[in-house]
Homo-oligomer: A and B are copies of this chain.
Amino acid sequence: MGPVRTGITATEALQIILDQARPLGAETVALPDAEGRVLCETVTSSRQLPPWDNSAMDGYALRVADARAAGAVLPVLFEVPAGDPGTRALPAGGAARIFTGAPLPPGADSVVRQEDTERRDDHVEIRIVPKPGDHVRRAGEDVEVGDRVLAPGARLTPAHVGMLTSLGRGFVSVHQRPRVAILSGGDELVEPDGDVGGGRIVSSNSWSIAAICREVGALPVYLGIAPDRPEEIERRLRAGLACDAIVTSAGVSVGDRDYARGVFEKLGCRLLFWGVDIKPGYPLAFGAFEGRGPLVFGLPGNPVSALVTFEEFVRPALLQMAGHARLFRPQIQATLGESLRKSPGRMHFVRVRLAREGGRVVARSTGNQSSGVLRSLCEAQGLLIFPADARELAAGDTATVQVLDPDFLAADGPGF
């Protein structure tokens, strides 16, 4: 065991974590499970899309040579519905009724929109002068055989799902979702349906951490509440060793009455740091196994500290493990709506509400910033970064805010 780094900066802590958070391997999933996942393969097309020249409109297929002046009248020789095999050729001097998506009959070189024609029994009057290729979608205009359509690292969207489907792909190789073992510890903790008399409190962190895991696309594996006994902690942690990360909180973080560190070390986990110069969240610990094993995040027990440290340090790690390149929340430069003070030394994450006022975004504290006050995090739309060395941010000063609330970024109207 080397010495454990302590009292490091948030930047150092994040760097140590991201250095360890390697992208997980591939798994093959059916397309309905692929949306939002990160592609692990190169998708090359074995097809032309569209597969044949086809009509972009309902109308009439013809040869432009047969309609050199407006008012040409042509016999309608046959009909080409969508789904037609498209093998019947159009003789010179004739037209074919054609529908959107239907294959252009061999011989035809243009489509005239229904609106630009007048049907008269078995003839059609062409009221415009068509040009070759009008309203024709050329075979392969979207994708040619051999095109490299998607590259590893692409985050799959609904449009990608449509594309993959069109290429006949029902399954695709993506990065695995991180499995995150969650363990709370402490004799005072009970589940939400438990008896809270006699000094007991609900173990809320496990459930909020499970929720944030799901939000980020990870799979929570809740190991339950460990009593304050090393053998109980060890038994539960062993159940989490096959996961990609272990997140502990409360009594299983490193403190005076904490047995967890010894258990982790016994299992082969090396503690890389304990204590980050931030508030809330100083007692954050991070460890890793030599060789194979989960990353280990020891979160502080306070509900706010646990969620803020997850947000700042665990979330980017899980995103990176899932193959994402973009790891961080949107940020804005906000104007302080009130002054904030602290002692220098630790960087503070201040829970703020955000308001658009006269072209600026104004940030105001959600109130009591005690790390026990979860309500102020419930009401927060962002975390304002109050730098370590600063003592005061005055009303009117500008600061960086990490935006937690997607509704704040949503537009008020459709934009048209």
Contacts and interface: CB of A to CB of B under 8 A. Distances in A.
A199 B85 contact: yes
A240 interface: no
Contacts of A162: 204-205, 207-208, 211, 303, 307, 374
A193 B168 contact: yes
Given A192-B168, A387-B416, A158 B212 contact: yes
A293 B250 CA distance: 50
A414 B157 contact: no
A77 to B, nearest CB: 18
Contacts of A203: 165
Given A137-B372, A207-B162, A330-B411, A201 B316 contact: no
A265 interface: no
Contacts of A380: 159
B407 A155 contact: yes
Contacts of A205: 162
Nearest to A114: B256
Contact of A188 (B82, B160, B330): B82
B325 A407 contact: yes
Given A99-B255, A307-B162, A377-B159, A370 B137 contact: yes
B325 A161 contact: no
A400 to B, nearest CB: 5
B207 A161 contact: yes
B188 A35 contact: no
29 contacts: A10-B414, A32-B214, A49-B374, A50-B372, A56-B372, A81-B187, A81-B228, A82-B186, A82-B257, A83-B188, A83-B200, A102-B188, A142-B368, A155-B407, A157-B404, A157-B405, A158-B208, A161-B210, A163-B378, A165-B192, A166-B202, A166-B303, A167-B202, A168-B196, A328-B412, A330-B411, A385-B416, A400-B415, A402-B411
